[in-house]
C-alpha cells in the first residue's frame, strides 16, 4: 500500500533531493492530471533478495528457455530516453515531463540506468531505475514483445550480484516480480536493510 509523506513540500525538486529521498526509503511520483510531484513509501515493501539464504531470483522454465535461445540482446544505458518514454506511455502514469527531465539528468550523472532488450535491432522492452550506493531502486518497465522486460530484469539481477549490491527495491509487488520470487517485508525491516546499503559504495558496471 502507498502512503504519501510530507517531504520537500513546496520546494524545488532536484536530483539531490531525489537521491536523499531514496536514502530515506521514499520516492517521487507525479500526479497523473496536474503533474505535481508527491512523495511516497510503501508498507510492506517489495524487494528481490540478493542474498542466497533468501533464495535469490527465481527463473521460470519458460523464461529460462527464452534466455537460453538468446531471443533478445541485452544492452545497458544504450537508450535511456526511449526506455523512460516507453515506460511513461500508458493511460495513467506517474512519469511526468518533469520526472523524465529529472531522471534523465540523474542518468547523465551516473545514477539512473536503463536495461534494454532488443529483438532484431528493435527495442523490445526494458526497465530503468536508480543505482545509489549499495541499492538499486527499480522504477518502471515496459515490453513490446513477450518476455522482453523479464529478460531485462534477469540481466539486471546478474549485474547487481556481480557488483555486490545489497538491496534490490521494487517498491510494490507486481505479477511479474511475483514470478521472480520477490517478497514483501515490513517497512521497518526495509529501513534496516536500506541503512546498511547506504553505507556501501557499489559501482554499476555491466
What pLDDT sits at residue 34? 80
Contact 124, 143 (CB under 8 A): yes
Question: How many Cβ atoms are within 10 Å of 187's Cβ, its own excluded?
Answer: 16
> What pLDDT tens digit does each residue of the chain (206 aa) get?
899 999 998 899 999 999 999 999 999 999 987 889 999 999 999 999 997 645 579 999 999 999 999 999 999 999 999 999 999 999 889 999 999 999 999 999 999 999 999 999 999 999 999 999 999 999 999 999 999 999 999 999 999 999 999 999 999 999 999 999 999 999 999 999 999 999 999 999 99
What is the Cα–Cα distance from 179 to 144, expressed in whole angstroms?
19
What pLDDT sits at residue 32? 83
What is the Cα–Cα distance from 144 to 125, expressed in whole angstroms?
6
Q: Is 175 exposed, middle or buried (0-12, 13-18, 19+ CB in 10 A)?
A: exposed
Q: List the CATH code of the domain at 45-197.
A: 3.40.630.70
pTM of the model as a whole? 0.96
Amino acid at each position: 500500500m502507498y502512503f504519501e509523506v510530507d517531504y520537500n513540500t513546496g520546494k524545488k525538486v532536484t536530483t539531490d533531493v531525489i537521491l536523499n529521498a531514496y536514502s530515506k526509503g521514499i520516492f517521487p511520483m507525479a500526479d497523473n492530471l496536474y503533474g505535481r510531484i508527491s512523495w511516497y513509501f510503501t508498507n510492506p515493501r517489495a524487494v528481490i533478495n540478493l542474498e542466497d539464504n533468501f533464495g535469490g531470483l527465481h527463473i521460470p522454465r519458460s523464461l529460462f528457455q527464452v534466455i537460453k535461445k538468446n531471443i533478445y540482446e541485452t544492452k545497458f544505458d544504450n537508450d535511456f530516453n526511449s526506455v523512460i518514454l516507453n515506460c511513461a506511455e500508458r493511460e495513467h502514469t506517474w512519469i511526468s515531463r518533469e520526472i523524465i527531465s529529472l531522471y534523465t539528468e540523474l542518468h547523465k550523472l551516473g545514477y539512473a540506468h536503463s536495461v534494454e532488450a532488443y529483438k532484431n535491432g528493435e527495442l523490445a522492452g526494458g526497465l530503468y531505475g536508480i543505482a545509489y550506493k549499495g541499492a538499486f531502486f527499480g522504477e518502471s518497465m515496459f515490453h513490446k514483445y513477450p518476455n522482453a522486460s523479464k529478460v531485462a530484469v534477469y540481466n539486471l539481477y546478474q549485474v547487481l550480484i556481480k557488483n555486490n549490491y545489497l538491496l534490490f527495491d521494487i517498491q510494490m509487488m507486481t505479477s511479474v516480480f511475483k514470478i521472480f520470487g520477490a517478497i514483501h517485508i515490513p517497512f521497518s525491516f526495509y529501513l534496516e536493510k536500506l541503512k546498511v546499503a547506504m553505507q556501501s559504495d557499489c559501482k554499476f558496471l555491466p
